[in-house]
Amino acid sequence: MVRAFVGLGSNLGERRETLRAAIGRLRGLPEVEVKGVSSFRDTEPLDYLDQPRFLNGAVELETELSARALLGALLELERAFGRDRSKAPPQGPRTLDLDLLLYGDATIDEPLLKVPHPRLHERRFVLEPLAELDPDLEVPGQGSVQALLAKLDSSG
């Protein structure tokens, strides 16, 4: 079993209900066990600012799926909740956003799969839920979640 972390986000519709339903669907995936769920945080959008606020969180999983298979399952869940990545701006509004943040201690750099998530270290809305799930969590090649949060705090 591999320990993986997935970031959750929604800024369209009933955000909290969408995130809860998505977690329920994650619990139903074969070869996936949800081990922990962070609290949700109401956050400002980044990059593409002309959109509603987000609700973000993270889940800790144990899985026997490969990283690619897990990502495929996450993308299928997004589609089931009405997200069409081909028709929306990359940072635009979405019913559901599921990002594979960490997959064990793996570093993966493929065209459609990058782990750790490339901007994890600069996003408070990702780091805080990860710290809530595991304050000692290490991000391969970048240090601990706590240290990454401290860098954000010191940079303002």
Catalytic annotation, pick one of 15, 94, 123, 134:
94
The verdict on whether omega for the bond into residue 116 sits within 30 degrees of 0, i.e. cis, is yes
Catalytic annotation, pick one of 99, 123, 124, 153:
99
Angle at 121 between CA 140 and CA 109, to 5 degrees: 50
Q: Is 98 helix (H, G, I), strand (E, B) or coil?
A: strand
Catalytic annotation, pick one of 42, 47, 83, 124:
83
- In the structure encoding, which two tokens stand for residue 101, read together? 């943040």
Angle between helices 15-27 and 67-80 (to 10 degrees): 140
Is-catalytic flag, 109?
A: no
DSSP sequence for 74-87: HHHHHHHTT--GGG
Is-catalytic flag, 83?
A: yes
Catalytic annotation, pick one of 15, 97, 123, 134:
97
Is-catalytic flag, 97?
A: yes
Q: What is the residue type of 33?
A: E
Active site (catalytic) residues: 83, 94, 97, 99
